[in-house]
Amino acid sequence: MGPVTFWSAPYAAGPVRASVPLPGSKSITNRALVLAALAEGSSTVTGALRSRDTNLMIDALRALGIGIEGVDTTLTITPAPLTGAAVDCGLAGTVMRFLPPVAALADGDVEFDGDEQARTRPLDTILDGLRAAGADVDGSALPFVVHGHGAVRGGTVTIDASGSSQFVSGLLLSAARFDEGITIHHSGKPVPSMPHIEMTIEMLRAAGVRVESPSDSTEADTWVVAPGPIRPVNWTIEPDLSNATAFLAAAAVTEGEVSVPFWPHRTTQPGDAIREILERMGADVVLAESVLTVRGPKQLHGIDIDLHDIGELTPTVAALAALAEGPSWLRGIAHLRGHETDRLAALSTEINRLGGQVTETDDGLEITPAPLHGGQWHSYADHRMATAGAILGLRVDGIEIEDIGTTAKTLPDFVGLWSHMLDGSS
């Protein structure tokens, strides 16, 4: 483990004004890579995000025998027989939850491990679901081993996916290759981040897979994938809208104006919800000709909001709320206690360390604005904690963010993009 480093978060002396082009969506990139690896023929991925999480996915698929060629953001994926391998998950939830079902189709043992922090992330749901589908798995958390036998029976499984939508998506992505496909019944509290499951279903259908979701029937919390081929697709990746939220927040907290080009008019990305959130907090938000522009108000309002389906936006919204006028209540996000870190505890601890007033509730945070001061902001190896600290640093001089490099998990060169934004350049 290397020495702890701290980055001086830039303070904005005036309104931030910039256009900020952003790289592709991690969520879409890693789903496209998995589907391409299991397809019947070669696929291309254009506009792929190249970050730690996506590079870990690429390296893992290559280790399993998949051909992936190309550099930068354009890749050609050529399926091949899957073999035993060692997979480094890092801290990537999409790798540790999407690839075990792929590994079960391999001929040989696939060993999974990752960063020290990843060993506490819940994986028993996806691994137990795989066992119920006939796969051979040793372990219930990192490190674990999938003993691939070249095929998976599939069939009906019941899981509690209230901890993460990735448990459902992970099973859905590979299920067309299972002998019987899969029928997933969810039993438990509501599944969080449903837009991510909708993203998975839309991409499966684009690849010719027959999928039935709860919206297609009267049976709630049930997903059905029929067995059959996965068609090659030439995927074009949208910008990562969740990564965009920190830059748009910069306009909101500084009375500035920030634009993000190539914003899709229709998307399954949860990050699109930032438009409504910023409007409710007092910002002016305009989407025109595929450019989203946010203009910040003189003073942000507090917000009472259920973030259950868009929990990944919580660190950004918490930072906005800490700088707003009036209290905020962020609800429906108890599941964030099982993310890269316990995000509710981390946000309350770090904002309070700077003089804030944040209280954890059973399912969220209550944030009462208070004068903030500079100090250390710990990132907990969590990329969204790091960017939340950078948002606060725009308005609070002297914030030092631990391990800003953790942002490379989903956004390469965050520091460079942030600096260019503050310079008013793109």
Contact 79, 41 (CB under 8 A): yes
26-236 has the same fold as 6-23+239-422: yes
Q: Rg of the chain's alpha carbons, rounded to an integer? A: 21
Sequence spans of domains, the chain: 6-23+239-422, 26-236
- Candidate list 312, 340, 350, 402, residue with the active-site label: 312
H-helix or E-strand containing 183? strand 182-186
Tell whether 212 is in a known binding site: no
Instruction: Look at residue 4 in the predicted model and tell me its pLDDT.
Output: 80
Task: Give me the residues paired with residue 75 across strands.
Answer: 45
- Whether 257 is catalytic is no
Instruction: Look at residue 216 in the predicted model and tell me its pLDDT.
Output: 74
Instruction: Look at residue 330 in the predicted model and tell me its pLDDT.
Output: 98
The DSSP bridge pattern shows strands 399-402 and 375-377 to be parallel
CA 128 – CA 171 distance, rounded (Å): 11
Instruction: Look at residue 215 in the predicted model and tell me its pLDDT.
Output: 76
Tell whether 378 is in a known binding site: no
CA 397 – CA 90 distance, rounded (Å): 33
Instruction: Look at residue 164 in the predicted model and tell me its pLDDT.
Output: 93
CATH class of 6-23+239-422: alpha beta
Instruction: Look at residue 3 in the predicted model and tell me its pLDDT.
Output: 72
Tell whether 312 is in a known binding site: yes
CA 152 – CA 131 distance, rounded (Å): 10
For residue 111, the 8-state DSSP code is: E
Tell whether 162 is in a known binding site: no
Q: Which fold has domain 26-236?
A: UDP-n-acetylglucosamine1-carboxyvinyl-transferase; Chain (3.65.10)
Tell whether 51 is in a known binding site: no
Which regions in the chain score pLDDT beneath 70?
1-2, 217-218, 425-426
